[in-house]
Structure 1
């Protein structure tokens, strides 16, 4: 089997890049011939394509936000996602003009959104790598520590985690032996930057504004609270669970895979809201977590740390059996084989 793989980047911190690189590695382990390129090769003159070993006699899979999508010679599939319940403005038209035959998405929620294109849409869940995220062993002597993510505004649910932390644990005087670490990218969250510079911060809360290795981040905590309002790939949630951390989520959007309760502590009671207009590449609705439900689950993990830890180890075992990149690669290989040479 031979493929071209086009992406706009393959960096670790980007969801598209991370999804692409992990799935490509798994495909290579199954002896699939994958030629990896940046998406700009589609616009290169023919002599430059030849120089860069680009040929179009094989199926091309573009793993891109749809606004980067280019028409290419030969057969062409799209692997994409959106965090919202609808496609952003212009995505449908771009996909229809691109000559794409089929669309692959990581969750049922996305399948519903991309159905508007009129093209066949297939769901292939992403995976996790037990070698990249081995079970964390040996808990340091420290207060019970919650982790949260805060990239790109409020979408990862960190505001609700902040509110739930105080609802569950009150002031430093009320509960001194608990911690919360919130991680964001260096330029990812202006509100967190202001909080981090506060004159009298809560000593229990730490804010990390850095691109750090996620394995190192997961090792800093005892529980990952990430009740995302919307998700496409949903990789950090599953990676932390693969590491053996108990992970608190909402079973919504990219996290609703039909088995969420097997690998995460699911909270209910969330409220659907329109996504603010300043999120230019997210459209439709998302689900804001119910703070009291989140606070209750955080308090339960804090009060019963061994029970929470046991759940985390069981979740990791379940993921190792049911949601790895090898399983995702096998499903993609099967899909390509099923539709080899068939455009619809």
Structure 2
């Protein structure tokens, strides 16, 4: 489809609606549509374009409901009546002007705004939330984006570590077996120059298979070494740092996780007690079932899960595919 998106201003102008229309245009373009953004100071050029080139749809953000340029608002309202061949979408973020209602499909960004605009028109008002490009907001690397962790419904546990026996990765596997919907990410790959590391990795793979968790543990380093930015992105996209070392001299991941607001479960050993901030400590003799129970009920972990669920809900690709495209095509008018 050939689609125009209209607002008073557009990127690179900084503003909430400006960011929304930029991300909306990118998402529609990714779906194969031809999209162009127009601002108020381009209204004459837009009108000339409209006269010489057909459009399938025009998405108007706030211009029908805000009084910043009423001559342009009036002109666009008249166009909604004179050009019924175009699919007009009235995207309502705010309502401060409602003297006239366009001949358009009405979209409110929240149910609160829908109820408010229902006092203006008795026509159907669809609720479509503004999406959010979480990957850009969080600065996620392409490699971590490709994991699509926002789509995973269960807990996502992270252990940034090398394949050294004192890292006690096997305890993580046993805990994973008690969390049937969880995912366990281990950053390392075995170092071919360390024979015991390679042997330990083989033992872990065998244990994962025996426990029935082989498909839910990801040894990310096998696909190539992770960069520092990749690890930072993992701190942003996981729900809990699980760090069960039997011995450490320091424990840098505990500090890094705390700086990223990632809840920490770590072994009760001297170095961890010295450096960890706000961590949940457990004894190395703790049962995997008991640890799994504490992890599931941890409020910080639950909050991180809800955060990932919000990312999934507000993915522009999902919003465009499931909500916006049906309106643009006329498949969801009621």
Instruction: Tell me which of the two structures has the higher relative contact order, counting C-alpha pairs closer than 8 angstroms and 6 or more residues apart.
Output: 1
Rg larger for: 2
Q: Shared topology, TM-score over 0.5?
A: no
TM-score of the pair, normalised by structure 1: 0.42
